[in-house]
Structure 1
Amino acid sequence: MRFFLLFFAVVLVFPILAGCWDQELLKDIRIVFITGIDYASNGKLESTSLLRDVTSSEVGKEETNELHTVVGSTPRRMGDILNMEVGGTYSTSKMRVILLGEEVAKHDIYPMLDIFYRDPKSALNAKIAVVEGTARDIIKIKKTGTLLVGDHIEKMLESMEKATIIPEITIQTLCSVMLDPGEDFALPYIINNNNQPAVKGLALFQNKHMTGKLDKDDALLYLLMVNKKNHTARITLKVHEEKEPHVRNYITIDVENLKRKMKVTVKDNQIKVNLDLKLKINAIEYPEDDLDEKKVINDLNDKLSKILTKKSEDIIQKMQKVNHDGFGIGSQLMAFYPETWKKIKWPEQYAEVQFNPNVSVEIVNHGIIN
């Protein structure tokens, strides 16, 4: 009896294990590792892609890039045209990076990404960035040093994420915030520095449109203010004016811990935001020394607090100028002041929000010497 029950169970399970009906063999496809989207001269879209080729020889395997540029009305149409050019079917399932030319980013970027959200085989963990000028010029570099350009950009973005210069963001994580009317997002901003891709800072977006930029120094403090510190956050600041040699005017700090508190209030139709940022830091470079003296520490804490508070005010002004609601003030209003949200015009009202930022710094460590 037990044998028949076992046999019956196996017969029922077999149809479920019928095999991989949707398998995609590597020998039948061409893998797109990095792709970029720009506007063509005729107003259509232009896609520049690097297809990964691996060749074997007696000395081992060698990876090369095959460059393809196609023009079409939509991303899907460009994919169909690319299929006609390559030997085998192109696949974005292993894609690591997608780049958007600056002119493309200044318009609604969702139509450029819609194809990835609808295809179940898309690499939703691919990184996304905006390029100064055209994505085509970056991708045509093909190789930087010993690395293919796609590998170089991926590793560069990962490094900048860990250093809290750019946010950790992928096509998948971008989707929810991109469709949120109460919060805006920022993407890495890449430049071509003498045929060497480099992160210059952040591209600021408002409602799926790029409206402004921040350089790397501002980008780090911006990410601290939006409570997105990663592995490290290192800042070099000028705390003296006339020391000799010049290097003695500066201090370099690592942010070890941060606490951020943001409170949004509405009174008499005036929206106010109190943003308090408390930083515990490690002084990792300070040629002036004397960090064993309490007065020196207290003076530095005061100076650093004032400098970073002023910088935060400047960053907020830049954000308001381009209507970039990176703090999610709109979401706070929708949740806690729904009547106010219904009456105001957002994001036009964002420029009139009264921000009161305050950064307080405490040196808790200064290395193994005074």
Structure 2
Amino acid sequence: MFKRVFIIIVVSSLLVGCWDERLYKNLSVVSLVGIEGQIGEMKAYYAYPTSPDDPTQYVVIESAGLSPRDLRNNADLKVEQSLDLSELSTILISAETAKNPIYNFLDIYYRNPQNPITSKIALTEGSVKQYIDIKQKLPSDVGEYYQRFIESFERNTIFPKVTLKRTASLLFDKGKDLVLPYIKRDEEKGTPVAAGLSLFNDQVFTGTILDVKESLLLVLLSSGKATNAKISYLWENGDKKSPVSIDVIKVKKKWEIEEKGSTATIHLNYKLNVNIEEFPHDRLYEDKTRKELQGFLTKKVQEDVEKLLVKLQEAPSDALGIGRKIRAFHPKVWDEKWGEKFATLTLKPKITVSITRTGILE
């Protein structure tokens, strides 16, 4: 009997409450944050729902300050409830702001254990305010809207899967550079438009932006296909023109590094197995037509990859992660100033496109 009473007393003492309990009725739960300006003169925008029954109704709190932490403190002075970022879905950063070391603006999101590390990050063309204060009615909470917007392009292999956590690892990765989604604005509707990927060198945005097709090729070459990977070209056969659209089924890659003293030639070999999704010319059951189309697609993808690699080296931005292999297996070629060294390497891509599927018609 004594033991039972003793156990009940001990257990009861452990159930008195949580020391870090936070009540939602005392908080304004922010789902979207926008950042612009430079350290010393910054602005931030915090969006949170105003109605529990309709999360599409939201208010935007604007704050000015010296640093991201100062912005947050000043924003708390403008709301009736404390701002809470435990459900933060998306962080938008002005492209001009990202031309400075971007970690300076993200540091506070890593230091607070209550902040999620799964938040999406994107750069915006122009002020982030216009991307937050959308006039049209949204189908969901504004932060969730941007999260789903970015995720849709991840599924289409245009954006890589980059979260707050992934961004941190790449910012301190000596062998691979960060890329972030780049968003423009539809001037007529005021809604976001995916414009491609922004290239970074170390922690700084280089100012170079890949268009949508270049972004898709980069993600394919770097990490492979997501759910879909569709590319379109115009096939010309004599005086006849026919559109051809493909969906990449599988990507096989093999890199070979030919070391030459303190430099190297990188052979980037890729084989793309594809499905033909559009080809009104048809007649793919004929070996001649099939071989001609495979040759055409191989040539076009090869040309596009060559242009992409030139753009990466001119930035310079090693978004493919070539530096990881160089650092691990070719220390004579490696240089601590990897961006400068990457720009001098000889990159030789070799692309092969193989038509694996042609649809239901033969």
Provide the TM-score with structure 1 as the length reference: 0.91
- Note if contact 1:283-1:367 (Cα within 8 Å) is conserved in structure 2: yes
Q: Does 1:46 align with 2:38?
A: no
Q: What one-letter code is carried by the residue in structure 1 that aligns with 2:18?
A: C
Aligned 1:146-295 pairs, distance under 5 A: 146-194=139-187, 195-211=190-206, 212-240=208-236, 243=239, 248-295=241-288
Find the aligned partners of 2:177 and 2:5 in 1 and give their Cα distance.
Answer: 58
Q: What one-letter code is carried by the residue in structure 1 that aligns with 2:43?
A: E
5+ residue gaps in structure 2? none
**Aligned with 2:73 (options 80, 84, 91):** 80
Q: CA deviation at 1:135?
A: 1.0
- Note if contact 2:32-2:46 (Cα within 8 Å) is conserved in structure 1: yes
Identify the residue that residue 21 of structure 2 maps to in structure 1: 23
In structure 2, do the counterparts of structure 1 residues 6 and 131 end up closer, same or farther at CA, with 3 Å as the change threshold? Answer: same
Q: Does 1:361 align with 2:358?
A: no
Aligned 1:9-20 pairs, distance under 5 A: 17-20=15-18
Task: Tell me which moved more, 193-202 or 149-158.
Answer: 149-158
3-state SS in 2 of match to 1:352: coil
Q: CA deviation at 1:62?
A: 5.9
Q: CA deviation at 1:339?
A: 3.8
Q: CA deviation at 1:325?
A: 0.5
Identify the residue that residue 127 of structure 2 maps to in structure 1: 134
3-state SS in 2 of match to 1:230: coil
What is the root-mean-square deviation in Å for CA atoms of aligned residues? 2.1
3-state SS in 2 of match to 1:249: strand
3-state SS in 2 of match to 1:332: helix
Find the aligned partners of 1:4 and 1:296 in 2 and give their Cα distance.
Answer: 90
Find the aligned partners of 1:325 and 1:18 in 2 and give their Cα distance.
Answer: 54
In structure 2, do the counterparts of structure 1 residues 14 and 271 end up closer, same or farther at CA, with 3 Å as the change threshold? Answer: farther
Q: What one-letter code is carried by the residue in structure 1 that aligns with 2:348?
A: N
Find the aligned partners of 2:100 and 2:238 in 1 and give their Cα distance.
Answer: 47
- Note if contact 2:224-2:251 (Cα within 8 Å) is conserved in structure 1: no
3-state SS in 2 of match to 1:226: helix
In structure 2, do the counterparts of structure 1 residues 24 and 290 end up closer, same or farther at CA, with 3 Å as the change threshold? Answer: same
Q: What one-letter code is carried by the residue in structure 2 that aligns with 1:198?
A: V
3-state SS in 1 of match to 2:93: strand
- Note if contact 2:36-2:43 (Cα within 8 Å) is conserved in structure 1: yes
- Note if contact 2:31-2:142 (Cα within 8 Å) is conserved in structure 1: no
Find the aligned partners of 1:241 and 1:193 in 2 and give their Cα distance.
Answer: 37
Q: CA deviation at 1:10?
A: 5.9
Render the CA deviation track for 1:192-235: whole Å, top value 9, x for unaligned: 11211111100111101111110001100111111232111011
Provide the TM-score with structure 2 as the length reference: 0.93
Alignment size in residue pairs:
359
3-state SS in 2 of match to 1:22: coil
In structure 2, do the counterparts of structure 1 residues 10 and 329 end up closer, same or farther at CA, with 3 Å as the change threshold? Answer: farther
Identify the residue that residue 125 of structure 1 maps to in structure 2: 118
- Note if contact 1:283-1:363 (Cα within 8 Å) is conserved in structure 2: yes
Q: CA deviation at 1:104?
A: 0.7
3-state SS in 2 of match to 1:113: helix
Q: CA deviation at 1:15?
A: 5.3
3-state SS in 1 of match to 2:360: coil
Identity %: 31
Render the CA deviation track for 1:75-118: whole Å, top value 9, x for unaligned: 11111111110011101111111000011111110011100100
In structure 2, do the counterparts of structure 1 residues 14 and 228 end up closer, same or farther at CA, with 3 Å as the change threshold? Answer: farther
In structure 2, do the counterparts of structure 1 residues 279 and 10 end up closer, same or farther at CA, with 3 Å as the change threshold? Answer: farther
- Note if contact 1:242-1:249 (Cα within 8 Å) is conserved in structure 2: no
Find the aligned partners of 1:241 and 1:95 in 2 and give their Cα distance.
Answer: 52
